[in-house]
Amino acid sequence: MIIDCHGHYTTAPRQHEGWRSEQIEAHKAGKPSPPRPRITDDEIRESIANGQLKVQRERGTDLTIFSPRAAGMGHHLGDAATSEAWASACNELIHRVCSLFPKNFIGVAMLPQSARVSPRNCLREIDRCVGEYGFVGVNLNPDPSGGHWQDPPLSDRYWYPVYEKMAEHDIPAMIHVSAACNPAYHTTGSHYLNGDTVGFNQLMTSSVFKDFPTIKFVIPHGGGAVPYHWGRFRGLAQDAKLGLLSDLMLNNIFFDTCVYHLPGQELLAKVIPAENILFASEMIGAVRGIDPETGHHYDDTKRYIDQLPLSAEEKGKIFESNARRVYGRLSRIIEEQSAKAI
């Protein structure tokens, strides 16, 4: 089985994002939110069958761990109440996709975060998504201000209520920022990769893994700058007398393969042990074009991994067994959802 651990519902029916715009406009005007739009099962089916499902089939992957559109989370917009209503609507839609296509999609939750609001307000939504929807993870935004970095670092006890919940449910968090509202950043070009790198560095210099030995984080987009600068981080850990970086991080930190060229994948696989790499493409997402150098989509990441000089056993870890290990509930939910599909 080939499990893509990083996909977003970027093709949701138009009225879903339309409602979000109306909700934020109403909030600005001090008015109540409009009623949620009607979205039919057929509209959802069409958006997936012609989108992510089609790409899965074309590329020979089996299952996508699926979450709401990341740039659409917009935790810097509105307030805690608008974030709560929006996260609830987005997660419900993911649950509907997973119910309609139980063999192909398993859910991950976006959280109702809001800049400078304690992440304690996310706990109820985590319980709901794990308990009612069978979701297997969350996306945690280390910068709900959208590029102004106004919240404490991930090392701070501010985040511990979320970590306690992750440990309780045995669910990992993907560290994933949303859209940038700071014009210095391009959302998917610099803000995403910066979020990945910042998140890793904050956790590296923290006691989070001493306090939560079983907790797991996925750093998306190939780990941002981390694998390329592994020597720098090793040296920083050594200078700070934190011990070996591999001992410090590799029980708890995993890197996905959303790297859109072969040399980048080669470097990732050379620097990071196969046990810590999870297959992912982030399709249909940030980069949708075809690479003229290869004639294939940039985000067709399976092609790069197929070409890596790794053993079949190592590739099996990257494509399947690491995901089952990192997402502790995944194997059970695969069985439950497959039973529903029969």
Residue 71 sits in the site that holds Zn ion (CB under 5 A): no
Q: Of these residues, 125, 282, 313, 314, which one is catalytic?
A: 282
Pick from 285, 286, 283, 317: nearest CA to 300: 283
Residue number with CB closer to Zn ion (209 or 279): 279
DSSP 227: T
Q: Using CB under 5 A as the criterion, what x/- string covers residues 240-269 for binding Zn ion? A: ------------------------------
Residue 90 sits in the site that holds Zn ion (CB under 5 A): no
Query: Residue 79: is it exposed, middle or buried by C-beta count within 10 angstroms (0-12/13-18/19+)?
Result: exposed
Residue 316 and residue 335 in contact, taking contact as beta carbons nearer than 8 Å: no
**How many alpha carbons lie under 13 Å from residue 26 in its C-beta half-sphere?**
14
Residue number with CB closer to Zn ion (70 or 323): 70
Residue number with CB closer to Zn ion (237 or 258): 258
Stretch binding Zn ion (CB under 5 A), from 130-138, 239-247, 282-290, 295-303: 282-290
**How many alpha carbons lie under 13 Å from residue 337 in its C-beta half-sphere?**
26
Residue 85 sits in the site that holds Zn ion (CB under 5 A): no
Rounded CA separation 23/29 (Å): 10
Rounded CA separation 121/149 (Å): 19
By Cβ distance, which residue is nearest to Zn ion? 70
Residue number with CB closer to Zn ion (70 or 115): 70
Residue 198 sits in the site that holds Zn ion (CB under 5 A): no
Based on the residue annotation, tell me whether 282 is a catalytic residue of this protein. yes
Name which position in 2, 70, 218, 333 contacts Zn ion (CB under 5 A).
70
Enzyme catalytic residues: 282
What residue ranges bind Zn ion (CB under 5 A)?
A: 70, 282
